[in-house]
């Protein structure tokens, strides 16, 4: 084979690779649009009347996740199954965003932390690497850390809306989450930096709880803790 033939073959391989990336990019753009729609929907809970409509907003968000599952099925067909990590960077950000959104929905519904397996089911992908297109552990953890920041914001807005018990529940949840992350030996630099930000979320929520305490509103919140969340 001549040099020109060798490079012609290489150009063919590069062209095929570029075609794959372009097909992936199109599906990822659709996923990003769906994620924006879900985020816009859920941002309504931060507004005053938003707490009254949490169940309806969560139900609507789950309908959007049906679209996500369809888009994920399309994404799976755009690249060879054994080359997940070769193209992972293309969908890593949107996948982390979708993890956060799914975790936020589950928290709003039950005030619990969703498992990686449950997130994978919501998104229509696998939890186990061996089974193909899957939810990477670090992507799951990144999404959970974004959830912590969103809950810190929710704690502040809850007080504004006159819901004094919610910040106490959020505080308990975030402290438990922080304890869980302390069990991990994080090596990934990006994930480690994001985890370092969790302490600021913890501090922010503690300040909200402290403010409630000095204003005597924590007693009111505790008295109503047995009521509707």
Contact 144, 99 (CB under 8 A): yes
Q: What is the mean pLDDT of residues 182-207?
A: 89
* pLDDT, greater one: 59 or 185: 59
Delimit the CATH 1.20.58.190 region(s) of the chain.
1-135
- Cα torsion 17, 22, 23, 29 to 10°: value is 140
Q: pLDDT of 13-43, one tens digit each?
A: 777 888 899 999 999 999 999 999 999 999 9
Is 220 flagged in the annotation as binding?
A: no
pLDDT at 46 over 80: yes
Query: Which CATH superfamily includes the segment(s) 136-220?
Result: Translin; domain 2 (1.20.58.200)
Length, in residues, of the chain: 229
- CA-nearest of 176, 195, 197 to 186 is 195
Q: What is the mean pLDDT of residues 61-80?
A: 96
Query: Which CATH superfamily includes the segment(s) 1-135?
Result: Translin; domain 1 (1.20.58.190)
For residue 219, name the pLDDT band (cuts at 50, 70, 90). Answer: low
Q: pLDDT of 77-135, one tens digit each?
A: 999 988 999 999 999 999 999 999 999 999 999 999 999 999 999 999 999 998 889 99
Output the CA torsion sign for 195, 200, 203, 208.
negative
Q: pLDDT of 136-162, one tens digit each?
A: 999 999 999 999 999 999 999 998 888
Delimit the CATH 1.20.58.200 region(s) of the chain.
136-220
Determine the number of helices (DSSP H) and then strands (DSSP E) in the chain.
9, 0
Alpha carbon of residue 194 to chain centroid: 13
Q: How far is CA 75 from CA 24, 124, 177, 190, in A?
A: 6, 11, 32, 25
- Cα torsion 82, 146, 33, 48 to 10°: value is 160
Tokens for 94? 């949107």
Residue 228: per-residue pLDDT: 46
What do you get for the CA distance between the two ends of the chain, in Å? 72
pTM of the model: 0.89
pLDDT at 185 over 50: yes
């Amino acid at each position: 084979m001549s040099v020109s033939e060798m490079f012609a073959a290489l150009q063919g391989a590069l062209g095929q690779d570029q075609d794959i990336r372009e097909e992936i990019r199109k599906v990822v753009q659709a996923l990003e649009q769906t994620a924006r729609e879900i985020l816009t929907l859920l941002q309504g809970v931060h507004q005053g009347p938003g707490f009254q409509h949490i169940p309806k907003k969560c139900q609507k968000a789950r309908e959007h996740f049906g679209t996500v599952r369809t888009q994920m099925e399309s994404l799976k067909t755009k690249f060879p199954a054994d080359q997940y990590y070769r193209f992972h960077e293309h969908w890593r950000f949107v996948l982390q965003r979708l993890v956060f959104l799914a975790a936020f929905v589950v928290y709003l519904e039950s005030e619990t932390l969703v498992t990686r397996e449950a997130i994978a089911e919501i998104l229509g992908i696998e939890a186990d690497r061996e089974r193909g297109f899957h939810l990477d552990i670090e992507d799951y953890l990144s999404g959970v850390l974004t959830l912590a920041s969103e809950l810190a914001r929710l704690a502040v807005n809850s007080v504004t809306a006159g819901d004094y018990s919610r910040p106490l529940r959020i505080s308990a949840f975030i402290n438990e989450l922080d304890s869980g992350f302390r069990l991990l030996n994080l090596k990934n630099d990006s994930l480690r930096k994001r985890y370092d930000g969790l302490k600021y979320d913890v501090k922010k929520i503690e300040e909200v709880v402290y403010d409630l305490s000095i204003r005597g509103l924590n007693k009111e919140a505790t008295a109503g803790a047995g009521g509707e969340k």
